[in-house]
Amino acid sequence: MKSVFNLLNKILQKIKDITLNMKIKQKIITIYLIGGLIPLIFLATYLINGTKNIVIEQTKTSEQSELTSMGKSLLETMRIVTDVSIRMYFDEKLEHIAFHEYKNYYEVYSDYQDYLSQDWMSYYYKEIENIRIYVNNPTITSNNRFSKIDDTVKSKEWYQETINANGSSVWNYIYDDVTRRNYLCLTRLIRTKENQDVGVLAIALQNDLIESLVKSRPFETAIIMNGDQLVISNRKDTDKEEIVKILENYKKNNSERVTYKGEDCVLTVKEIRYSKTKSKGVILSLQPYREILSAANERSREGFAFIIGSVFLSLLLILFFSDRFSVRVKLFQKQMHKAATGNFHIPIQMEGKDEIGLLYDDLYTMIDSIKKLYATIYEEKLQKEKLNSRQKDVEFKMLASQINPHFLYNTLETIRMKARCINEPEIEELVKMLAKIMRRNIEVGDKLVTLKSEMELVEYYLKIQRYRFGDKIKYTIDSFCDYEKYKILPLIIQPIVENAFVHGLETKEGTGEIYIYTEEKDRLVIHVIDNGVGISEEKLNEIKNNLNDYDKLDRSNIGLSNVNQRIRLLYGDEYGITINSKINVGTAISIVLPKGAKF
């Protein structure tokens, strides 16, 4: 006993050591697993098994209900046929045919036609397949409605049962020699008012009517009459002998487990017993137990999936809250460590007013007094930084005041007006275009401008260059999209065009041409193509490498790299400039912009 007690103490001490070394988040999760998840698993297992049993019982109950409904439909049909047989009692025309001695065929035919004028099948064609009367009159002619009772008929089992029933109706599954098909038939002895036997009446049910009861059933379903007559089944491989044997040991009008064709099945039976007949039958179904279990397992899987989802959700919540708690503890630990290493720059307070928040408040109060010891040093450093900042502001303002753009605009406007006064339209036009270009260059910022205004600016630049170089320079501007519906960054086209002149066309012998066109596909693309001197492959590779060099991004420089980087910074890395060139052929530069850059 003492050794067991010592062993328990060792185990408890081991658990204690483990828990002391666990992180807070691990402890919370462990508590959840032990106190919540494990009991939930046991409960879920119990509920799932209970659900499976409920589904099995519901399946049995549902099957009993369906068979009861089928039985009611069949009994209603049997009632209708029984009523027809009763109406054919004491029929004088039928008595005449049964007892009259006919001398020729024409007499028989005439009486047949007279009797058939009251054909009951015309009223009950949905239920009745055929009505046949067997009579002891050797002078009649057999046909589809009347037959002579000969030795063959007398030897039939159903005939003997009908005679022995002494006027009561009997139901049998009978083979018809004329149609060569089996039918579920009502047979009964017909008598006159004087209780003299007229013959035997046989009314056959429509096979389609009986088949409709069972053909759409998902399980093997059959109708058995009088213990051993298989009337109908929805399976071609129904084993009649095995079913009859099973029914011999079946006592209840309920569901029970049996073995059929070597497989466990649930047998459900509904008796068919009509009060006005001595015959009886059953409607039965055989459901493979594995299929019932499959449906039950499906429900169980659904329940299990729901439980798993609930466990997963609860685990997520536990992880979330434990993580939030752990984060607060780690934050407190981090700030404590910073304070211990001499770093007193911690937030004034921590969110929340729980114990950790209160501890953090005490920590902040404690280090606040320590921070005051360094206040003089920090204040001196701060004053120095403010002084440097003010000095930079002054330098910037001095630089900005060096150029007064209004002076430049006013001077250009004075020159333009002077040219107009002396009737120099070309000079006036040149000054006007130059003023607009200079205004845009000086006032440019990151605010988007219309594509139309940018193209106008480019055209001003081209016209000025045309004045300079005359016929040596030609240019064409085409557009395959609507300029007015796009906004783009300012000064991204003119630098490209200027590059084309400076590096491609100015040193070219002969006429230089520049072609600018805009197209709208999945993106907006602006092409600038010249037939200048081109770029060597080595130089072209160097330019392409410098396009994405962000260290060279300078607002005072509006070269190719600047334009490319401005586009990529605004729209993303998939946009920008592409360059293709060939020596003595020319250079093609494409500016790729997003198609959605509309306003």
Residues linked to residue 239 through DSSP beta bridges, in sequence order: none
Which residues are CB-neighbours of 506 under 8 A, at least 6 positions away?
512
Encode the chain (599 residues) as per-residue pLDDT tens digits.
667 666 777 666 666 555 555 566 666 666 666 666 676 677 667 666 666 777 777 788 888 888 888 888 888 888 888 888 887 777 777 777 777 777 777 777 777 776 766 655 556 667 888 888 888 888 887 777 788 888 888 888 889 988 888 888 889 888 888 788 889 999 988 887 777 888 888 888 888 888 888 888 888 899 988 888 888 898 888 888 888 888 887 766 567 888 888 888 888 888 887 777 778 888 888 888 888 777 667 766 776 777 777 777 777 777 776 666 666 677 766 777 676 776 666 666 666 666 666 666 666 677 777 776 666 666 666 655 654 554 444 344 434 444 455 555 556 666 666 666 776 676 667 766 776 676 666 655 567 888 888 888 888 888 888 887 888 888 899 888 888 788 888 888 888 998 888 888 888 888 889 999 999 888 899 999 999 889 988 888 888 887 876 555 444 344 788 788 778 877 888 899 999 999 988 999 999 999 865 44
SS3 state of residue 198: strand
Distance CA 384, CA 140 (A): 138
User: In sequence order, what are the beta bridge partners of 176?
Assistant: 181
pTM value is 0.45
Q: How far apart are CA 259 and CA 257, in angstroms?
A: 7
Instruction: Give the relative orientation of helices 105-116 and 92-99 as an angle to the nearest 10 degrees.
Output: 160
**Joined tokens for residue 547:** 């396009």
Contact 97, 115 (CB under 8 A): yes
Give 469-594's CATH code, choosing from 3.40.50.300, 3.20.20.70, 3.30.565.10, 1.10.1200.10.
3.30.565.10
Distance CA 94, CA 541 (A): 116
Angle between helices 289-340 and 355-372 (to 10 degrees): 20
What's the CATH class of domain 48-293? alpha beta
How many angstroms separate the most distant Cα atoms in the chain? Answer: 148
Residue spans per domain, the chain: 48-293, 295-372, 469-594
Distance (Å, whole) CA 39 – CA 34: 8
User: For residue 38, how far is the Cα from the chain centroid?
Assistant: 33
